[in-house]
Structure 1
Amino acid sequence: MNQIKRATLVLPAGEWNPEKRLGGVTLDFDRRSRRRIALTSDEGLDFLLDLPEPRHLRQGDGLALQDGVIEVLAAPEELLELRCADAHALLRLAWHIGNRHIPAMLEGEAILIRADHVLADMARRLGAEVTAVARPFDPEGGAYADVPTGGGHSHGHSHGHSHGHGHGHHHH
């Protein structure tokens, strides 16, 4: 019986030899943010992604197998492209998205987020033009991207901070 191939090393996009390419694996954003997962390449090769710690895989990264490399391909996803009339409105919209800890991809004069009708309504109320698009989603990494999670700071919402705005705004 054949032992399943294991990928234990990620080679950053542009830093691996394309002649070693065995195939590609097309994954959405969630499946590109894993430590250990059984995968099948687009060509039908089964392998196990088995990394020492969780990390986000980006378009063009290589997953090193014993006999070659599987290229990571970002799958198109349903996104909302948000555009505003001016830079101030776009910054204001970016603040509201960031305040909600929503993964966002910044591209030129647009912000792209995952399709969500509540966020679409919020963006429209803030003056944004909202367009549904299907594109690969590779959001900004943020302050805690690719940081080992063992004992480090996790930015989930299990901690008790408030997003209220009562601090520092006392009126006498």
Structure 2
Amino acid sequence: MIIILTKKVVLESHQPPNLTLFLTAEERTKVKHSIEIKEPNYHNITLVKLNLARGDYLESEDMLTDDNETFFVKIQAKLESVITVKSESKLDLLKAAYHLGNRHVNLEITEKYLRFSPDSVLENMLIKLGLNIYEEKAPFFPEIGAYKH
């Protein structure tokens, strides 16, 4: 069975989704692609196709459905390999964000840490700047950009 998801909806909290898809940050930026389902719990579904409006993006906890609103899929952020950057100094984190942004790195920015996809050159740069870096498996929520509201 192929499910074609065409729109975002708000699902009543008492109604569970038919399927939960765990997607990486990069996969959540693609609103027109196919995802093969290999989980035994969903043996009758072989393919989920995303066919959302261009320019849209997916966030963790989004709910998607088909044209007839008969099948509901919840999007969740998948754990992925990331580098988490921490420092006692907020100024040092700001400087790190500046240097990473100057290299057009997809970057998650919070008050307590920065997070990006592993890159040994960037990791070495941050270590030389005196920041603490940690290799982790975590959900990744990079900034979506100033023009995607």
Give the deviation of 1:115 after TM superposition. Answer: 1.0
Helix, strand or coil for the counterpart of 1:123?
helix
String of CA shifts for 1:5-44, please: whole Å, max 9, x gaps: 2111123xxx322405111011112211113111245543
Q: Relative to 1, partners in 2 of residues 1:97 and 1:119: Cα closer, same or farther, differing over 3 Å?
A: same
| Corresponding residue number in structure 1 for 2:5 | 7
Kindly tell me the number of residue pairs found equivalent between the two proteins: 141
TM-score, normalised via structure 1 length: 0.74
Give the deviation of 1:125 after TM superposition. Answer: 1.2
Confirm or deny that 1:16 pairs with 2:17.
no
String of CA shifts for 1:76-110, please: whole Å, max 9, x gaps: 11111101231111111111111111111123311
**2:22 aligns with one of 17, 21, 26:** 26
Q: Which has the higher contact order (CA 8 A, sep 6+)?
A: 2
Unaligned 5+ segments in structure 2 are none
String of CA shifts for 1:106-149, please: whole Å, max 9, x gaps: 23311011111111001111110011110011111121336xxx
Confirm or deny that 1:39 pairs with 2:42.
no
Q: Which has the larger radius of gyration?
A: 1
Equivalences for residues 9-158 of structure 1 within 5 A: 9-11=7-9, 15-18=10-13, 19-40=15-36, 43-44=41-42, 45=45, 46-65=47-66, 66=68, 67-145=70-148
TM-score, normalised via structure 2 length: 0.84
**Matched residues in 2 for 1:79 and 1:61: separation?**
22
